[in-house]
Amino acid sequence: GNYLRTLAPGLLAGDPGEFQFAAWRLGLAHPTGYPLYMMLGWIWQHSLALVGVNPATALNALSALCAAVAVALLYRLMWAWLPGGLSLRRLT
């Protein structure tokens, strides 16, 4: 929700812009090239382009989705590994 509401609406400068172009062309951004992200980005951008979404915005949405999944996985790992799960009492 919040990730998509605060999403950059288009082309960005620097590395994000380089990634947006590289994923569209199925190229490599710069060493190490991020091959899995570029392949996912190519599929994601071209799929959303079929319904009229700007390719730069599409890759920004993929980045937001990846960030949300990473946060959810981190939460689940912490829940599984910490004795008693997560609790605010443990933090005070």
pTM: 0.76
pLDDT tens digits, 2-19: 777 877 777 778 777 788
Give 71's Cβ-side CA count (13 Å radius).
8
Distances (CA, A) of 41 to 19, 20, 28, 44, 69: 9, 8, 11, 5, 16
How many angstroms separate the Cα of 88 from the Cα of each of 35, 44, 74, 92? 39, 38, 17, 7
Number of domains the chain is built from:
1
The residue range of the domain holding 65 is: 2-91
The pLDDT of residue 75 is 86
pLDDT at 70 over 80: yes
